[in-house]
Amino acid sequence: MVCYKNVNLKIPNGLVYSLIIPHGIFEIPAIIIARVAGFKISYEIVRYLTGKKEQVLIKDDVR
């Protein structure tokens, strides 16, 4: 797979990939952690609204 801009600038594919891959190493885990936090908070709010919990978020839920 060759990127259109990569062809016009005549930059080797290996260089492009070597610059993109380190960015993904930190980006993908950050996306996963943010998703889990968002689902956990939503889940706890729904549990509170349905009466299954007395408080929305407690210290253990945040950890």
Q: Render pLDDT for 1-54 as a digit per residue (tens, 0 to 9).
A: 555 555 566 778 788 788 888 888 888 899 999 998 889 888 888 988 998 888
Angstrom distances, CA of residue 6 to CA of 17, 21, 23: 11, 16, 18
Q: Which residue has the tokens 């929305």?
A: 56
pLDDT of res. 6: 52
Question: What pTM value is reported for the model?
Answer: 0.55
DSSP string covering 24-63, please? HHHHHHHHHHHHHHHHHHHHHHHHHHTTS-SSS--HHHH-
Query: How many distinct structural domains can be found in the chain?
Result: 1
Range of the domain at 45: 4-62
Give, for 7, the enclosing helix (H) or strand (E): helix 4-9
